[in-house]
Amino acid sequence: MPSPFHLVRRKSHPHGEQIESDVAQLRDASLAAVYYARRRGRGFYDFLRVGPNRVLFALLDCLDGSKENQKLAAAVRTTFRQVGPQVFAKEDINLAEAMIEFCLQLNRTLLETADQTRSCPAFAGCYEETLSTLWYVNAGHAAALVRDSAGVRELAATGLPLGLFSHATCDASPLVFEPGMALLVVSRGIVEAKSRGSEFGLEAVKSEFRQMATTNASEIGASMLARVREFVGRPANPTNVTALALARSR
């Protein structure tokens, strides 16, 4: 069985150190996050193998880089790594129900840890390698993007951001990954990157994603950060820039 841990590679760039983090091994697919080394306290991302054929991942986008956010990120990471395996370990579980329960647990952690109500948009998914299927929840996050032979389409929010209401739930939706398909989730620091008063925007993310020839998750994330850096002329809000990608090889 592939390792439950992920690898980290550091690359030096003129505008700051960039870090690529990816799962040690997936079956016919790759999963990676690319971000700047200065990203601290701006939310959270993680992924973890939760079964022989399942990998769980999440990206949470909090609002600022305060010490409270660092505390929230630490609490969420603990919940992610303790609750994730408990919820997804059984072979015969309903993955839609498991995703909803997992997000409820993350939401509870945010509500119990935060000093005040804090909106925390999130995207979480569980990739089933045997069936090449992704079950995902989009809790008020910027639309995730899926690229396939038909082009690029959006995965819109399936519920409200986490951290607002104790009993709020998000619907879980399935996505079958055909060979060559890719998923891209970006933090708000990418969408809201500015140059001369203009915002990079989700449409620019879609355009860049559409033009990429690669089906490697690390290369997708690195290419997106490079495009944003080119747009801004320097690292775009380097404490809040993360691109997370899941791609199935052709």
Helices 67-88 and 95-113 cross at an angle (nearest 10°) of 150
* Mean pLDDT along residues 110-118: 86
pLDDT classification of 95: cutoffs 50, 70, 90: very high
| Mean of all residue pLDDT scores within the chain | 84
pLDDT of residue 23: 58
**CB–CB of 205/244 below 8 Å?**
no
Residue among 126, 102, 106 nearest 114 (CA):
106
pLDDT of residue 197: 86
Predicted TM-score (pTM) of this structure: 0.87
**Angle, vertex CA 82, rays to CA 18 and CA 27, nearest 5:** 60
* Mean pLDDT along residues 119-140: 94
CA 54/CA 170 separation, integer angstroms = 21
CA 151/CA 173 separation, integer angstroms = 20
Phi, psi of 134 (to 5 degrees): -110, 125
Higher pLDDT, 225 or 13: 225
Q: Is the pLDDT of residue 82 over 50?
A: yes
Domains of the chain as residue ranges with CATH: 6-248 (3.60.40.10)
Residue among 25, 223, 245, 5 nearest 125 (CA):
245
**CB–CB of 62/42 below 8 Å?**
yes
Please, how many CA atoms are within 13 Å of residue 188, restricted to the half-sphere of its CB?
15
Coil, helix or strand at residue 75 = helix
The structure tokens listed for 103 are 């997000």
Question: For the chain, how big is the Rg over CA atoms in Å?
Answer: 17
* Mean pLDDT along residues 7-18: 45
| Terminal Cα-to-Cα distance of the chain (whole angstroms) | 22
pLDDT of residue 210: 95
Q: Is the pLDDT of residue 212 over 80?
A: yes
Q: Is the pLDDT of residue 135 over 60?
A: yes
